[in-house]
Amino acid sequence: MERNNRLAVLKSLIGLGVSLAFTGSGFTAQPPEKAIANLDVGEGLEASLFASEPMMRSPSSIDIDHLGRIWVCEVVNYRGHNGKRPEGDRILVLEDADGDGTADKSTVFYQGRDIDSAHGICVLGNKVIVSAGDNVWVMTDDNGDLKSDRKEALFTKLGGAQHDHGIHAFSFGPDGKLYFNFGNAARQLADASGKVITDMAGNEVKASRKPYQQGMAFRCDPDGSNVETLGWNFRNNWEVCVDSFGTVWQSDNDDDGNKGVRINFVMEFGNYGYRDEFTGKGWRDKRTNIEKEIPLRHWHLNDPGVVPNLIQTGQGSPTGIVTYEGSLLPAGFRNQIIHCDAGPNVTRAYPVKPAGAGYSAQITNLLQGARDKWFRPSDVCVAPDGSLFVADWYDPGVGGHAMGDLDRGRIFRVAVPGSSYSVPKINLGTPDGAAQALTSPNGATRYLAWNALHKMGNKAVPALQKLWKGDNPRHRARALWVLGKLYGKGEGAVGTALADSDPNIRMVGIRLARQLGLKLPEIVAKVVKDQSAAVRREAIIALRFEGSEKANALWAELAVQHDGSDRWYLEALGIGSDLHADARFAAWLAKVGKDWNSKGGCDLVWRSRSKLAPGYLARIIKDKSIKDHDSPRYMRAFDFHSGEEKKKALESLLDL
C-alpha cells in the first residue's frame, strides 16, 4: 500500500511537471535536523541552519538589515495554490535574539492578498520595497515596531502577476540609485498612477520592440524617477546585482530543458538576444548563420547587435544573485558573484576575470544539495558580519507551476568554520563612523551610510577622502560615488578618478560623469587611448546619446582600436553608434580610408546599422581574399537593414 501511495503521488506530480527528488528509499522530504548533513559545502566554508519550518515556509526572496535581521517573502498563494492562505502571503522578520546562531523570534511585518507570491524584498532603513504581483510597493515602518504603517505604490500595472517571470527584487547601488529587473511575463513599467513610464532615453518602457522587448533591467532614483532601461531581451532574469564599481550582473533562464542558463554582465543599453531584435522570432525559427548548439542558438549569439554572455551554466532554474564584497569568506569567494540555481540544487560562485572589454568566468560550488534534491536555493544575501545567508524554497519541484510543497522552507548561514553570527555596531552620527559603515559588506548598512554622508555634505569630505586614499579598490569606489554626488564636488571627483592607476576606478569616473550630466565628449577625450579595453568600452557607451561631430570623431578613434577579436568591444561600439549610425560610420571611413577591410573593419561593417553598411557587406562577400571570410555571417547582417541601399547591395550579389 505504501509503495502504491508513493506511485500515485509520483504520477500526480509528474502530471504537474514537477521535477522529483529520490532520496534513500524513495521520494521523500528530509527533516530540518538532517538538512546540513545532506549538503556539500564549499572548501573552507561551514553551513548552519538558521531557520526552518514551522517558523517560516517557502521563502522566495530575502534581505538582511543593518541589525542582522532576516526579512523573508513567505509565499504560499502561488499559481495553482493561489488562495490556499485566505489571509494572504506574509513578510516575516526573523531574529536570533539569544545569540545562539539560530532564529528564535519571528515577526509578521505585513500580511495581505496584495502581496501574494511576492518575489522580491529590499530593506532600506525604515522602508521596505516589496515586488509582488504586477506592482512594486514601498512599505514604511514609522515607529520602529517592525510593522508596516504605510504602503505606497512605486510602480504598477507591470503584468506578470502570479508568474516567476514577472517583477523581482530591488537592490541599492553604490551610486545611490535602485537597480531592478523583470522577466518576460511583465509587459511594461508604469508609475503609481498607472501611466507608462518614458525612460531617460525617451522611450516608453513597454515590451513592444520599439526598441525594448522581453525581460528588462533598470536603474532609477529611490523615488522611482529618472528610470533608465539598462538592458533588454532577456527571458527570465530573476534578480540583478551591482558591485561597487557600478558593474551590473544578473542571470537568465532558457526555455526549460535546453541547457542554456546564462550569467550576464549587463553592458548598458544592450540587446541580449532572447528573441530576434526586429521580428521577435524565437530560437527555434530558422535564420541564416544559425548557431550549431542549441544552448548558444537560444540567445542569437551569431547575430550582430547581441551582447555576449559571461558564462553559460547548462540546465537549471536560476534565482537570487549578489556580489560578495566582504572579507569573512575565503579569498576565492571575495569580490565575486554568488548565485543560486534551484534546478541543479546549488549555490555557486563565478570567479570573474577581465577579458578584453568584457569578462570571463568559472564555476565554484558553494552549497549543493548533494543528498537532498528538495534543496532549492531561491536567494542569497550578505550579512553585516560578511557571512552569507541562503534561502531554501525546499520543494520537490522548480518554478511556480511545479510547486509541490506549501509547508517547508529553510535558511542557511554560510561562513568560515567556527564563526559565530555577530553584527558589528555602526555609528552614523559622525563622518568617520558613517564612512566606516560605508565599508560594510551588507547592502542595507551601506544604504544608511550613503544617506548619512550625503546629508552631512561638506562635513563628510575629510572622512570620504581618507577612505578614498585607502588600499581597498571597492571601498575607494564607494567613497568616490558619494564624493562625486556631493554638491560642487562632482567634476573634481571625476577628474581624480580618470587619472587613477586602477582601470576599475577610471570606469567609475566615466559612469559618474554620465550620471552627473558632464560634457561627455570632453571626458571621453581623456581616455580615448586608454590601455584598458574595458575603460574604452565605458567611453564608447558614454557617447551613445552624443551626436556632435566631436563625438563622431571620438567614436571613430575608439573604433580603429578594434582588432576583430573582442566581441564585447565590438558590441560596445554598436551601442555607442546605433543612434547616430550614418555619421559614426562616415567618420570611421574617413579615418581608415582604403584600409577599411581589415579584420576589425569587416567586424564593424557587420555590426553597423548605417545605410552605407550594406554596400560594404556586399563587397566583403564578393571578396574571397578577405581573411576569415564567412559569407553566411555577412549575409545574416543584411537582415538588420532595410531600404534602397540594402536592395542595391543584394542586387549586386546576383552576379556572383
Task: Collapse the DSSP code of 652 into the 3-class scheme (helix H, G, I; strand E, B; otherwise coil) and give the result.
Answer: helix
Look at residue 16 in the predicted model and tell me its pLDDT. 34
d(CA 182, CA 184): 7
d(CA 550, CA 587): 10
Phi–psi pair at 355, nearest 5 degrees: -145, 95
Look at residue 626 in the predicted model and tell me its pLDDT. 74
Strands (E), 438-485: none
* Cβ–Cβ < 8 Å for 390, 340: yes
- Tell me the fold of 2-415: Neuraminidase (2.120.10)
Sequence letter at residue 531: Q
How long a stretch of residues is the chain?
656
DSSP-assigned states of every residue in 274-333: SS-TTT---TTS--TT--SSHHHHTTTTTSTT-PPPSEEEES--EEEEEEE--SSS-GGG
- pTM (global) more than 0.85: yes
Look at residue 257 in the predicted model and tell me its pLDDT. 81
β-pairing, 410-415 vs 261-265, is unpaired
d(CA 236, CA 160): 11
d(CA 575, CA 51): 46
Which H or E run contains 346? Answer: strand 346-350
Return the residue matching grid coordinates 500526480: 12
d(CA 611, CA 589): 13
Look at residue 23 in the predicted model and tell me its pLDDT. 38
Among 108, 106, 107, 164, CA closest to 132 = 164
Low-confidence ranges of the chain (pLDDT < 70): 1-27, 400, 627-628, 656
Look at residue 656 in the predicted model and tell me its pLDDT. 60
